[in-house]
Amino acid sequence: MTDHATPNLPSRDFAATSRFYGSLGFVESYRDTGWMILRRGGLMIEFFPYPDLDPLQSSFSCCLRLDELTRFYDGCKATGLREAHTGIPRLVPPRVEASGLLIGYLVDPDGSLLRRDDELVTLLQIVECSVGAPMLLLVDLHVLGVPFTTRTSTPVTSIDRVPSPGEQTR
């Protein structure tokens, strides 16, 4: 197992917390009266009971590092979670912050703040791309002092031609 950390957040009611996060794609992997663990793909969030928590006074938070922030955000929004800058629960749309990272926010029903971030990456060049091999990309991570770096994809399974703007397709 590689080193990792998992957030530990409060829950006033495990059943309600499980339902809320379940609507976002998380599933229970462990639960007893004193602890609950929820998972969604490679994400894991652990919860401890805090029945007297005042959500409006909560200062609990964690950060989820996501490969596909936009897809996760759209999934949260599709559940009916409202976009707002106040209130509980709520979503705050992702935006590029001073760090150069694309960051969005989710506040759960217990007042815990989950920051969700994704790298802002600009594609500079496709260096290599062929079916059956990983694609090699030259990208700008928008990090001061780092003019560019490379990223490698999973093996390419097919290549489709994309019509130019205004070009008719058959």
What residue ranges in 41-161 does DSSP mark as E strands?
43-49, 61-65, 90-96, 102-107, 113-118, 122-128, 134-140, 149-155
Residues 25/40, Cβ–Cβ less than 8 Å:
yes
Q: What is the mean pLDDT of residues 143-153?
A: 71
Q: What is the mean pLDDT of residues 131-160?
A: 78
pTM equals: 0.68
Fold topology of 8-118: 2,3-Dihydroxybiphenyl 1,2-Dioxygenase; domain 1 (3.10.180)
What is the pLDDT, as a whole number, of residue 70? Answer: 81
Residues 91/105, Cβ–Cβ less than 8 Å:
yes
- Amino acid, single-letter form, for residue 33: T
What is the pLDDT, as a whole number, of residue 140? Answer: 75
Choice among 20-24, 35-39, 164-168 with the minimum mean pLDDT? 164-168
What is the pLDDT, as a whole number, of residue 95? Answer: 81
What is the pLDDT, as a whole number, of residue 152? Answer: 77
Q: Where are the domains of the chain?
A: 8-118, 122-155
Confidence of residue 169 (pLDDT cuts 50, 70, 90): low
Inform me whether the pLDDT recorded for 170 exceeds 60: no
Q: What is the mean pLDDT of residues 143-147?
A: 67
Q: What is the mean pLDDT of residues 105-112?
A: 93
Confidence of residue 126 (pLDDT cuts 50, 70, 90): confident
What is the pLDDT, as a whole number, of residue 63? Answer: 85
Strand-pair category, 61-65 with 113-118: parallel
